[in-house]
Amino acid sequence: MTFIVAFVLGALAVMALVWLKGSRLSFRAQTAGDYAGKGPEFDLPRHLNGPILCEGVIYGPTGRVTSRFVADMEARWDGNTGVMTEEFRYDSGATQSRSWTFKLGNDGAITAEAPDLVGSGHGMQKGSGVHLRYRIRLPEDSGGHVLDAIDWMYLMENGAIMNRSQFRKFGIPVAELVATMRPKEAA
């Protein structure tokens, strides 16, 4: 009986540590408030505007690079509503297009829509960080799976934007994207 109690207590302790790491000590645990007053102020209509060059890599579930890409982006704003088009070219030769619509609230809240999103994305801009959560449906040739995505963009002092995104299925990490974005004039 003592062995069973010790086993159950040990299992509960491990589960508590896993929960603590996932909910308080990880990429997913960040909040927009963590970046308030830190670094340059990220203003989406100002910093995510005009022609943008994006270069990045996608990591698979094992942590190895599975794809590289370059994207030409164009963002335009009318007040608190912005539209950003993306044209991706992958190292495999594949291409992909996407168009986002962003709506900003006066409190920094963000609502995002795109044809391959399931519902709307929601996030916040504060300080040097922009956070966005959404569900995205992969193209059919990639399995058509729906993944939970978390995007973080960080404005650097030179105006470049660092983007890190994690994609999960049933809470399990399946991919991560790391990219830089900068105005094309500065490229």
Give the distance from CA 103 to its chain's centroid: 17
The verdict on 23 and 98 lying in the same domain is no
CATH number, residue 160: 2.40.128.20
The verdict on 16 and 48 lying in the same domain is no
Per this entry, what is the length of the chain?
187
Dump pLDDT digits (tens) for 35-72: 677 778 989 999 999 999 999 999 999 999 999 999 99
- Rounded Cα distance, 14 and 21, in Å: 11
The verdict on 61 and 85 lying in the same domain is yes
Dump pLDDT digits (tens) for 64-102: 999 999 999 999 999 999 999 999 999 999 999 999 999
pLDDT of residue 4: 80
The verdict on 85 and 136 lying in the same domain is yes
The verdict on 170 and 130 lying in the same domain is yes
Residue-range definition of the domain harbouring residue 114: 32-186
pTM: 0.80
The verdict on 54 and 6 lying in the same domain is no
How distant, in Å, are the alpha carbons of 15, 22, 87, 100 from that of 12? Answer: 5, 15, 47, 43
- Rounded Cα distance, 9 and 16, in Å: 10
The verdict on 26 and 38 lying in the same domain is no
The verdict on 9 and 95 lying in the same domain is no
The verdict on 78 and 156 lying in the same domain is yes
Dump pLDDT digits (tens) for 95-123: 999 999 999 999 999 999 999 999 999 99
